[in-house]
Every structure is written in C-alpha cells, then in structure tokens.
Structure 1
Amino acid sequence: MHISVITAVQAFISTVAYCSLPTLAELHNIDRTATGSRPNDIANGKIVRGARQTALGTFTNETHKDTQWRMQMAEFNLSDLLVRRKRAAQRIAAGATTLYDEFLMSKMDNNTIRYKNIAEMPSSLFWKFNVETNETVADCNRSYVVLPDRLPNDSEPIIEAIQYSAGLDETAFRPNSLADKSIGWQYFSTNTGPLRLYSGRECPKNVTEYKRAADPRLLSWYNSVASGPKDVVIIIDCSFSMNDENFSVAKSVAATVIEALTSRDYFNVICARKGDRTTRNSGDAVSEVSGCNNASLVPATTANKAGIVETVNRLQATGNSDLRSGFQAAFDLLKPSRRTQCQSIIIFVSNGKHSSETEGQSSETAVRNLVDSQNKLIKPKARIFSFLIGADSNWALHESLSCSSGGAVVSLTTTDDLINQMQPYFVYLSQRTVEWAGLWTPPERKPWNRRVAITYAVAAVSKMTMRTLGFAAVDVTLTEIEELLNRYKWAPGYIFVIDRKGKTIIHPQLPKNMPALQGSVNIKAFEQNGTGDPEFFGAVEQAMRRGEKGYKTLLTKNMTYYYAPASEEYSFAFVVTPSHTPDQSSGSANKVMRKQLGELSNVGEELCNSDPHDEGEDHCPVMRDDALIQIPCGGL
C-alpha cells in the first residue's frame, strides 16, 4: 500500500509544478517508506532516488523530482511543527481561562481554601524546593512554580494564581506532551509574577537554576504579546534636588522600563533640568535627550537599549528643576511619524521638589497647561505614569498629570522589588491589547534551559471579568528547526530561515551565542554580499517575505536558492552552491556582527536611523476599552 502511495505522489509531482502539497496521509507514508532512504544518506547529502546531486549539476527528471519532494517534505514538516506548538499554547491559555473562572465562581460561593501565605500551600499546588539541598527532585509529570525574587509571600492575587494554575497539569501540560512527544518546555506566566513551567521531554533536569529565573514580566516574549507595539518616553528629573539615593532609584526605574521593551517598540530618555549658576553644581545644565538620536524616538533594539541604559547610568543630578521643558521635549519626540503610533506612554520619575515655593507654584501650573495642550496633539494620547521618589514628594502635581491622562501615580522609596512597586504600569501593559489570537515572538535565550527559541505566546482572558490573567507559551528551539531542515538537505550548501519581515532567524553567519541578533538582522546583510548581486537577492527576499515558493538561480555564482514558506510566519531556503558554506569566521560575517553590535564607528547612526516600518513592521493591535483596564490612578 505504501508503494502505491509513493507511485501516486511521484506521478503527481512529475506533472504538476512545485506549487502545492500532497495530502497529509501521503506525506506521512512517504516520510516513513521513501525508497532506499536512510538517515545517514540524508545527513551526507545523498540522493535517495539517484546519484549524488552536485550544485547546479545536470538535473535529470529523477533528481528534479527528488528536489521537489524534499522541499515539499521540509515545508510540510516545519509548518506542522509550528502549528502543533501553536495549538499547544492555545490549549494552555484555554485551560487557564477555564480554571480561573471556575476558581472565581467557587470563591464567590466561599468554596475555596484560603492560604495566608505561600509557605502554607501544599506541594500539590506548589512544587517546593528542598531548602537543604536548594534543589528539587525532577518529576516529569508535574509542573514547577518559579517565583521572582522578592515577590510578596502573602499577596492574595499571587497565591490565587498558584492555586488555579495548578490544574494546568491535567488540562493542558500532560495532554500536550502526549499529543506531541517532541514538545519541550510549556509555561504559563501570570501577570502577577508566578511562572508555572512544565518540562516535557526536557525532564529530568536539576531545576536549581530555574528557581531564580528572571521575572517573566521583563522578558521579551511576555511583553511582545502583552502590550503590543508602543512608543515610550522616559523623563528623569535630573535637578540637584535628586542628588542622593533618589537619583539611583530614578535610574533603576528607567532601566526597568527599558529592559521590558521589545523589538516592536520605540523609546528615548530625557534628562530634565535647567542651568542656574547660582545653584550649587548646576553648571550649564539643560534638559537633554539621552538617546543616540535626540530628534526622534529610536527602535528598541538590543544595542540601543544597552547604549541608552549606559548613558542613563552616567547622568549626574545638577541644576534646577525644569519639568516643563522635560515634558515639552517628550511631546516633541512623540509627534514625528517615525514611531509605532499604536500607544503613547510617558514615564515620569521625580521627587517633585522645586527650588522655591513661588517658582514651584507657577511651574506646576505651567506643566499642567503644557501637558493638557500638547496631549491633544498626540494620537494616540499619551498616558503618563508618574513614579514619585521620597516621602515628601509633590503628590498633587503628579496625581493630576497621571489621572487626567489615564495613567497612574506610584510612590517609591527604594530599588528593592521594583517590578512589584511599579505594578500599575506592568498591569496596564498586560491588560492593554485584545489581540488574543497570539503571535510568534523573536528568538530569545530561555533562562530555564539556556536554549535559544522562538515562542508562540497567547493571552488567557477570563470570560467572567474580561481581564487578562497571563500568557501561555510554548517554545520551538532553533536547534529543532535546523535539525528538521537538515534531514532534507540534498546537496552542498546551507540553510537559512527568516520571518516575514525579512529578519534572520537562522543563518550560518549568525552566531549562536548571540541570541539578541537573531530576529533583528535583515537577511540582506548576509546574502547580498555573498551573491554580489543585490537586485538578484532582493527578488528572492521579497518572494520569501510574501510566502511564495520556488527557486532562482544566479549563474555567475553557480548557486541556486530554493525557498518555501513555513506556516504563515516564516520562510526557509536551501542555498545550493559548490563553494564552502559561509561561516562566522569570514571577514564579511565578522563585519556584519561588529556593525550590529555597535563596534564600528558609524553603526550608532545606522541603528538609530533604522526604521522598522520600512520593513513591514507590526500593525497596531486592537486596544481594549479603557473602562476594562481599571487601573486606579493612585496605584493598586
């Protein structure tokens, strides 16, 4: 029966152009019974139904059919892998929604067990770490809960999140593992901090390193799906009145906000003050933009984020307060079109002090008037989140600015547990979008297994409250993708994978120890130099970004690009060439890497002036109605 299926598919391929896939059953049968195929043959690039294929050698009818078969198999199996992981994440989100709503109904009927703190919770809900050995025995059939450092032990929302999410083992994690034996880490991150992990095929593991995993609310995958693209301006009060521990807190707030930004965002930082030589240590202080481009927002690339955080850390508190000029600079940055135009956010960090009572009163009025008038010119209107530092902060001014804009005001006294002190801001981000279908997030090194993976993340939204509970996610490691595609490699050459914006996910010249570059470097940076023909590769790139399949030959280089889509989000290519596979040691590769890391003198300008909109950046997701967000202006 298998032979007849193979014969039928071969006949189909020989008469139909490379434009459609065989049926699901046919593909599975072919994959298991391909004539004469052996894993070593595939790994060594041998032809299953003919002699060894050389780059652009004589293509017989048999080898041409073999190439088509391999491309179809690679397309089908990679797409199938992505779809399976997407469905697994959706099952986790649906399970979390049902579990929470059932828990909420039981709570309303007083049928739930209430715990005073996390320590009281049984291991059936919270798999505890051994305090003596600082580790836990790996249980492949159970999930672990990772709590970020300094998370409140007696917080009711945190305790309840651990309670209801424990049911995910039965409703989602184990069923997913049974349905897909290759699945690795599955996880559900609540918007209150706890992260529930299920190891799947990665088990058993010593989970000591997971105990202190980074707060998920700061990770790229979480924020990519939580808030959607946004424009963020951070205003730091750099006046001399901040010249104490308050300034360290202000810098930490800025760094925390920047860390949570994703590649979909734009941002910049303003140091607000004015010079007055009669004021101690003021010098010629003026309000200034800290980013590499002081005329606009900059993309939140890894290099830009690191560079601006470094600049912020070097700031010194001098001069007098000048919040008015700081806000004016913020609105000026939000007016140009070079931004996402999806959400406008201003983070304002100050102690609210002024050099004199008279100047303070007039300054407050000027700031309010400026914010009211300028915000009418911004689309969408900017929300202001004010973080006040010190016990004697000017609460009235900041409350007025924040409440009128739909933001929140929070009092800070220390850098300890900043994430939870800043909770109104992070809750706002998690509740803002209603793009509940989920999305694939850029490659990121996962703290629980140190592997680089793309992640499908989707929101879990309560049907009773319509509030976002958290985000379910499942990984596909880049190693999995490479191994899958290499099974179908038939000739000397190499493989690469891009997303539909042309950003490189996998390429031989992309260092595996630099995950921040994966998903941020356009494929043209690697391939145009290799082909020496920008117009030729530009046509290949555009076809791949459109999700087309086919092949294109560059005769001058004796190389052919075979390309096909992988699900709706990615495309891959087999590059058949007689020359050696490009590697990270080549001069052109090193140059690309240095430029992307900002080590060349002109890269700062290049990164600052790059515009993701030119490469088909994300559309704005549907935003949730303000009435459903329900963030008290005075904090949570």
Structure 2
Amino acid sequence: MFCFTTFKRYPQGVLHKLISYVKAVLPIKVSVSVLKKYKDVEGAVKIEEVNGEELVKKFAEEMEEMLGRKMKSVKSLAEAAEDADLYHEYNETLEFDYYNSMLINTVDEDGNPVPLGGEFQLEENEHFSKLAVNTQQSNIQVPTNVYNRDPDIVNGVYMSEALNDIFIDNFQKDPTLTWQYFGSSTGFFRLYPGIQWIPDENGVVTFDCRNRNWYIQAATSPKDVIIVVDVSGSMKGLRLTIAKHTINTILDTLGENDFVNIIAYSDYVRYVEPCFKGTLVQADLDNREAAALGQGSLCNQAIMLITDGAMEDFQDVFEKFNWPERRVRVFTYLIGREMTFAENVKWIACNNKGYYTHISTLADVQENVMEYLHVLSRPMVINHDHDIIWTEAYMDSVLSHGILLGVVGTDVALKELMRLAPRYKLGVHGYAYLITNNGYILSHPDLRPLYKEGKKLKPKPNYNSVDLSEVEWEDTEEKLRTAMVKGETGTLFLDVRTSVDKGTRVMFLRNDYFYTVINETPFSLGIVLSRGYGQYIFIGNVSVEEGLHDLLAPDLTIASEWTYCETDIDPAHRKLNQLQAVVRYLTGKEPDLECDVQLLQQTLFDAVVTAPMEAYWTALMLNTSGMDDGVETAFLGTRSGLMRFQRYTGIEKRIAKSFLTSTDKENMFTLDHFPVWYRRAAEYPAGQFLYYMPRQETRGRGHTFTWQTHTHTHTHSNTHSPSQNTICAGRFYGEVDGSVMTTLIRMASAHKKKGDILQPCDTEYPSFVYEPSVKETNSIIKCGRCQKMFVVQQIPDSNLLMLVVQADCDCSRQYSRITMEPKECDRMRSQKIRRRPESCHSFHPQENADDCGGASFISLSTSLFFTCLTFAALVS
C-alpha cells in the first residue's frame, strides 16, 4: 500500500513547502491508524509464497483451453461450409439478393432501397467496441474491383447462407467470441455480426480478403523463395516498373516462416542486398526491407523468374540440378506486351512444376502473382491433411476438401487471452508475455506496437516481428529466448534494468523468469516475478458486510481494466463497470456472475484496512485553517487495484487535470502494468517520501506545474522570475546544463550505466543513477575567462537533490549538452534460433504438372478449403 499527494510548486521556499505539505496530508498518525486497523484483522491474513513454475503452467493450460474453444467454433463453421458446398448445385443464371455491407440502408433518389441494399437492422454493441452491428445476421463485403452480380459471387453467397445459423449458434455457446467470417476465393467476404462497411475517401473498398496475410499463409506450407529479376537493357521504363511492383507483391505474400532472397542479372549476377549474399532471409517485414540473416524453411522451394523473354530454355541446367524430382519449382513472369520469347519462358515453368503468367500492365500484377499460391497448395490438397497452420499474428486450421471455397475463422483478441494471467498474481513489477516459434512477441508490456502521427495512433510496420531479445535486453546470451523458442519448460533469473515513465527513469531489479509451451500451438508463455514484492502474496479475509460498507465509499475506485467479475458473457452485464459488477455480485443481485474470488477477498480486505484514510482526509479538507491551497490531491493504491483519492481543489483550479483519469494510463492500474508512482515507491525504503513529476505535465505550464515525484530539482542563484525556474521542469538535467552534469559524472556523484535498453539493434543507451552515499558535494567549473560554482545537497528522507548553480558563467562552448535521443542503427545481424512449423507439404507425385499457365488455368478442383482462427494483435 502506498500513499501520495500532488501539489503545485512555488518559487520561494520550495523545499520547506514540499515537506510541510506532505507531512500535512500524510502524517505519522495516519500510518499508525492504518496499521492499527490492519492489526484488528491480522488474524485473517495468510501470506503465501508464489510458485512461479506452477503458476505459468496453470496460465498456459487455461490459454490452451480457451483457444480450444475458439477452434471448436471454427471447425463447426468449416463442417457447415463443406456440407453446404456439397449439396449446392452451381447455377450460371442464379439470381439472389443478398445484403451488401456497403449498400445496406441506402436509398436512391426516389427514396427506394438500392439493389443489394435494403433495411438492415444495426444496434450499438458493447462487446464489439460499441460498433453498430446486427447479431442476428451476417452480410457480404465485395471489393470494388469485383462485380457483385458475378455468377461465381452469387452462387458462393447463396451457398454460404447456411453459415448464418452456425455464426449465431457459436456466439450463443461462447459469448466471448468476436468476429466470425468466411473469405471466399472468388473475392466476397461474409462477416458476422453484420456491419455497415465504410469505403475510403474516394468511395472505394480496397479490402480483399484474398490478399490478407492470414489467407495467403493458410494456402501454403513454409517456403524458400529466390526471386530472379532481369535488369538487362531491354528491361527499362515501364517494364522495370512492372518488375519492381511484381517483386513487392511477391514479398507481400511471404510471412515469418518463409525465407527469401533477390538476385538481379544482366551480363553478370549480383545480390540486390549485399548483406544477403549466399543466404536466405526470414521474410518478416523488417528483413524484407533491411538486412538480417536467417535459416531456410526446409520445406517448399521456389524460384520466381521475372523477365521480358528468354533466348533459350536452359534444359541442360534443369536436367543437371533439378530433374527428375523437380523439388525446386520455377514460376515465370513474362513482363511487357511482346510475346517473342514467351514459349521458352513458359517451357521453363511447365517443366519444373511451376506456373507461367504474362504481365503486360501494372493492373495485372496482383492477380497473376497470386496464382503461385494455388500451385503450392496442391500437395496439401492431395494429401487430405487436417493441419493447423499459424501465421505471425494468426492461427489457421486447414481442412482438405478438394475445392478452394475460402477461409472461415474468428478473431481472438490478445487482450482477452492475457486476462488469463491476472496482474495481481504477478506482483508490482511482474508481468506475462507470449512469443511465437520464431521468437517474435505476441504480447509483452514493453511492446509498443503503435506510434502517434498527428492526433492518430497507427500501427508500426514491424509490430508483429519484434524479437524477444529486443525487449528483454538483459538476456544477452539469449538463454531465455532459446529455451522458449524450443518449446521448453524451465526457469532462470536475470538482474535487469527496466525503464518506467515513458523510458525516462530506470529501476534495477532481480527478476525470476518462468516459461512453458502452450500445447498444440507454436506459442510459448512466460511470466516474470521480481524478488521481493513478487515472491509472496497475502490473502486477507474480512466479512462481506464489512468489506462492502467500505467498498462503497465515494473516494474509492478499482482497476477498470482488471477482471474482478466477467461481464462479457451475459449481454445484460456488458454495460456494468467492474465496481458495479462486484457490488451486484456481493449483494446477491447478480449471483450468476463469474468472479475472481481471491481478488475479491483481497479487494475487500484492502477496503477495510484503508478506510481510516477517508475520515482523515475529509477532516483535513474541512479544517481549512490547516490547509494551504497548494495541495491538489491525496491518493492511495493497493496491490488489488484499489485506489482512494481526495480532491482538495476544484477542477477549474487544478493544474494536473488529466492526472488519475482514464486517459492517464501511466499513472493508473492497467492490464499491462501497475502505476508508475506505485512501481517506483515499491523500490524505496518504507517511510521515505518519493517525489515525482508526471511526464505529460512538464511542458508548457507557465509558472506552475504539478509535483508527485521528481529526481532532480534546481534553482539558479541569480534568478529574477519564477518562469526561469520552471521552464526546464521535467527535463533530463544533462540537456539543461552539460557542464554541471559532466562534472557530476566525473566526481562519481552519479554513475553512468550502459546497456541495450529497448533498442532493436547493437547499441548502448546511457542511464544516470545518483550515488546515495554522497550527501553533499560542490565544485568549481572553469570555462574560459569565467568559472561556475555549484552545490548539490541530498534532501533527507526523499529522492530529491537540491542543486544550486551560479548562473552568470556560460560554459556551453566548452561542454556540450548530454542528450538522451535515440540513434538510428542496423538491426542485429546475428543468426537466431527458431522452431520450424511441424507441418510441411512440398511435393506429391499425383500433381498435375500440365496445369502450368498460359492457355491453361488453375482448376478449383485442385485446391483446398481452410478454416482459420486469427489473433487480433492490436488492441486499444
């Protein structure tokens, strides 16, 4: 339990006011009253040591069970789609009016519903992020470049109507399900629940399910791809532009289990990226754009030849290196309108189990590139295998059927999965994380997948290919990463430096890591428990009546993102916040709610023990003679996510108006972390005061700013206005005065630590930590014709330093500022261990090699049917 206060700074007598304010709001007698209350219920307290190995196994089993339920729902969709297709007779002249998601609820100039529109009921739904949806029916999205009355579309939509009942039945059996869908190979996308599809600003719907990564990766096994592009003299202008677009489109079809390299040839052969010479590169987004070494997939192998013609067929070369097994498929792309040497280009593909396409314009690229996926899917279809295939952010189950109907699936939000590893069981610094078989992070509190562009948050291009070693940077030998990638179960400890407060402050911890594999998936789960607060958990037990009385206090809140009670199962509960759900459960008004009994017991205990704070704070507020108008808020937090707070000024007077609000994620209990002030206070000795200035309050505040905790305070000896004191508040002092900071480091008053801190490459990032044994020091800095004197004094029982600097000597020419800005660098190029997917279908003797493009076409009867379970990687 930690108590805090916030207040404004004044230009005169700052230290005396700081101490007097805090002592006024948090006097010793309050601590005594809280301890006395604890003594009254101490007999009901039980302290247990946390068993990390058992905890991580329990979490993994619950996650496996949850994913199993989702898979069961998806398989029921697959079976229904197979049956519907089996009994559907294709009708070239079939007419069927369906709900087009872009046209629903739209009328023409006469007020009549447009074709494929009509009235489609939509209601806002809490479960679907407050979007307007129809949970009684799905509807259809068709890309702008696909004719929505095409016979293939109409027959597919009519056939897939049978999925509506399965969608609804699945949602009734498992109310935690989110989006369910069917993506057809003909281009339409059936989505449940139905929604209004919004086109872009040009009125165009560019979304095509067939181009989505989960769809593409489900169609094939892992593959090694060499792209060979002709850059001779004839490949200029439009041809070269088309060739580049073709390369980019091929790269977009590759995932993290695929490997690629690009070779250009004319009179000589060269690697497009010299760092890739003689190797294959893992085809995640970063490696498709930069340099990093990888390993082959050891499954499908293909050469993509992009040229405007071939003078010969190179039969002797293929006979020597690829025949008779033809294990390496060759796909050829003829660029340009001329067909002079087309026969040789086609012969190369048809005699190496590949496919030939002719690309004459930029508009032809997408459709023609995608043809190779149908060819690579042939072995899987013929084998009639029921594999589970995973892409970097998705899980796809592939069921052989013989006809490429498409992909059916449902989304699983990672946020919901990580709720199965609740924060209160992991301690103040503890957390859980998930990685893939390639070592890439699915979920981690230090994974920051979004960046801000203007006022909008957008996903970073490589958000789903961030390696564990780029976040757990103390794992220098990669023992943790290697063990988890191999699917092992075990434990290890690391001495770590972790940053808080948006990377501006560092803490030193000793963490125990526990990890295991999630069965039937390529994922591994890890949890972290810090020595100290993370090693033990106490369980308090008070009566429900007493706990409820104190829980209903107006100054009390609980963590809104934590799951005290499951409100997402019953639609009637979805509008309840967590505190409302807890109260209704404990009072017996909602006995069917599923609640975390252990967390509720701890919350009730904390409410009872901290109840004396409410009475004291109220009395203090009423006794205005003992208060100064500088105090804004007093607040308290506990491990159960409970918070008490008392506002001492109105919102119109408060400086920190966003502090402790829903937008202030850093200082609130969230799904990912405890508040910054809570984490920092946990590492300080009991009884000391910790002062902290929230990051968002440090710029542009004029003459006043908000205090909570602060690592450096400073004032100038000849300051004439308050604004000179506050203009640098919250900044790293090395940026303000490089001469003093440099001197302090040389005097060993502050230690400079180096390490790879949250950097995706081999680099060093300095952190500065004050040496607590130095109580007071001073020095004189010589700067040309003048000298600067400064004094540093440690403020007792706090984390503050008083720094007084003589301000009439400018040393900026002799001492540059010490900046903390990140530097661009190359990503680490060391080869990393990965676990290959178990399934591989690269060859089957019954393949029809004559179906290789040109006059022929890929028959749907040689393709397959997929089911898919996707992971929604971005959550707000």
TM bin (shorter chain): 0.5 to 0.7
Name whichever structure is richer in strand by fraction. 2
- Indicate conservation of the 8 Å contact 2:761/2:826, yes or no: no
Report the AA paired with residue 369 of structure 1: D
Matched, 1:520 2:465: yes
Task: Report the TM-score, using the length of structure 1 for normalisation.
Answer: 0.66
Deviation at 1:184, TM superposition (A): 0.8
Partner of 2:422: 486
Matched, 1:633 2:853: yes
* Alignment partner of 1:88 out of 62, 73, 77: 73
Q: Tell me how far apart the structure 2 counterparts of residues 368 and 582 of structure 1 sit (CA, whole Å).
A: 68
* Alignment partner of 1:114 out of 87, 93, 107: 93
Partner of 1:305: 288
Deviation at 1:414, TM superposition (A): 1.2
Name whichever structure is richer in helix by fraction. 1
Partner of 1:288: 270
Partner of 2:760: 592
* Alignment partner of 2:479 out of 525, 531, 538: 538
* Alignment partner of 1:401 out of 348, 359, 363: 348
Report the AA paired with residue 287 of structure 1: V
Partner of 1:173: 167
Partner of 2:396: 457
User: 3-state DSSP class of the match of 2:419?
Assistant: helix
Report the AA paired with residue 86 of structure 1: M
CA pair 261-67 structure 1, distance change in 2 beyond 3 A: closer
Report the AA paired with residue 141 of structure 1: Q
- Indicate conservation of the 8 Å contact 1:89/1:456, yes or no: no
Identity %: 19
Report the AA paired with residue 259 of structure 2: Y
CA pair 73-617 structure 1, distance change in 2 beyond 3 A: closer
Gap regions ≥5 residues in structure 1: 1-50, 52-59, 275-285, 309-335, 354-362, 444-454
* Alignment partner of 1:184 out of 178, 190, 200: 178
Higher Cα Rg, which structure: 2
Q: Tell me how far apart the structure 2 counterparts of residues 528 and 121 of structure 1 sit (CA, whole Å).
A: 58
User: 3-state DSSP class of the match of 1:456?
Assistant: strand
Task: Report the TM-score, using the length of structure 2 for normalisation.
Answer: 0.50
Deviation at 1:260, TM superposition (A): 0.6
User: 3-state DSSP class of the match of 2:421?
Assistant: helix
Partner of 1:370: 317
- Indicate conservation of the 8 Å contact 1:458/1:472, yes or no: no
Partner of 1:227: 220
Report the AA paired with residue 183 of structure 1: L
Partner of 2:103: 129
Partner of 2:136: 141
**1:315-394 alignment to 2 at 5 Å?**
338-352=295-309, 363-364=311-312, 367-376=314-323, 380-394=327-341
Partner of 2:146: 151
Matched, 1:438 2:388: yes
Q: How many residues align?
A: 488
Deviation at 1:229, TM superposition (A): 0.6
Report the AA paired with residue 364 of structure 1: E
- Indicate conservation of the 8 Å contact 2:256/2:391, yes or no: no
Q: Tell me how far apart the structure 2 counterparts of residues 141 and 547 of structure 1 sit (CA, whole Å).
A: 44
Partner of 1:452: none
- Indicate conservation of the 8 Å contact 2:761/2:825, yes or no: no
* Alignment partner of 1:267 out of 260, 266, 277: 260
Deviations 1:561-603 (A, max 9, x none): 34454443233233222699899x99844412798xx984442
CA pair 375-149 structure 1, distance change in 2 beyond 3 A: farther
Deviations 1:165-193 (A, max 9, x none): 232112x3222211110111122222333
Deviation at 1:405, TM superposition (A): 1.0
> More displaced, 562-571 or 388-397?
562-571
Report the AA paired with residue 288 of structure 1: R
Q: Tell me how far apart the structure 1 counterparts of residues 340 and 158 of structure 2 sit (CA, whole Å).
A: 38
Deviations 1:196-247 (A, max 9, x none): 2224xxx766654697353333322222221111111222221222223222
Q: Tell me how far apart the structure 2 counterparts of residues 499 and 423 of structure 1 sit (CA, whole Å).
A: 26
- Indicate conservation of the 8 Å contact 1:460/1:471, yes or no: no
- Indicate conservation of the 8 Å contact 1:544/1:563, yes or no: no
User: 3-state DSSP class of the match of 1:241?
Assistant: coil
User: 3-state DSSP class of the match of 2:298?
Assistant: coil
Q: Tell me how far apart the structure 1 counterparts of residues 823 and 266 of structure 2 sit (CA, whole Å).
A: 32
Q: Tell me how far apart the structure 2 counterparts of residues 431 and 75 of structure 1 sit (CA, whole Å).
A: 35
Deviation at 1:510, TM superposition (A): 1.2
- Indicate conservation of the 8 Å contact 1:271/1:289, yes or no: yes
- Indicate conservation of the 8 Å contact 2:473/2:758, yes or no: no
Report the AA paired with residue 398 of structure 1: V
Gap regions ≥5 residues in structure 2: 1-37, 39-44, 109-113, 123-132, 451-458, 497-508, 534-672, 677-694, 696-753, 764-821, 858-876
**1:58-97 alignment to 2 at 5 Å?**
63-64=48-49, 74-97=59-82
- Indicate conservation of the 8 Å contact 1:151/1:193, yes or no: yes
